[in-house]
Amino acid sequence: MIVSRPARRFALFVFGLTLTVGAASLAGENFIGEAKAAGAFAIGQCAAYGQAYDYAAESQAKEAALKQCKGNCTAVTMKKACAAFSVDMTNPCGPHGYAVRPKISASLNEATRECYKYGGKECVIRAWVCDAKG
């Protein structure tokens, strides 16, 4: 089969353009995903909490979560993950649990297990949050 020179040039042009656009969109997705992929979950006494997600840096997310949490709070960070916080409803100032896992279901289950592990009687999820692609 003989292909004319202009047709071959056009085919190469389209092929090159497709590669360029594909590479640019992949690079853009990775850049955007990485730029907004930090989160934090602050946990305090008596069911206090704060949350932040899709921040550019973990330190910014941690600061934002701690601002929302009232009292003596500590923060855990997450990157492309989910966090959950469980408290004992019979004593909100008592046993609690938290977890950070890649998927929401795993973080909810683990936070509840942690609450029961530390003596909770009626542990329920108080709050949860997922960060970019978590």
Q: Given pLDDT bands bounded at 50, 70 and 90, which one contains residue 131?
A: confident
Q: What average pLDDT does this structure show over 10-27? A: 44
Task: State the pLDDT confidence band at 29, using cuts at 50, 70 and 90.
Answer: very low
- Please tell me which residue, 7 or 54, carries the higher pLDDT value: 54
Question: Per-residue pLDDT tens for 38-65?
Answer: 899 999 989 999 999 889 899 999 999 9
Taking 50 as the threshold, does the pLDDT of residue 92 lie above it?
yes
Would you place residue 93 in the very low, low, confident or very high pLDDT band (cuts 50, 70, 90)? Answer: very high
Domain ranges of the chain: 1-35, 37-130
Confidence of residue 26 (pLDDT cuts 50, 70, 90): very low
* CA 39 from centre of chain: 6
For residues 100 and 94, give the distance between their C-alpha atoms in angstroms, rounded to a whole number.
21
Distance CA 9, CA 7 (A): 5
> Residue 16 above 50 pLDDT?
no
Confidence of residue 5 (pLDDT cuts 50, 70, 90): low
State how far the Cα of 100 lies from the Cα of 89, in Å rounded to an integer: 21
Contact 107, 100 (CB under 8 A): yes
The per-residue pLDDT for range 70-87, each reduced to its tens digit, is 989 999 999 889 999 999
108 Cβ partners below 8 Å, 6+ apart?
A: 84, 99, 125, 128
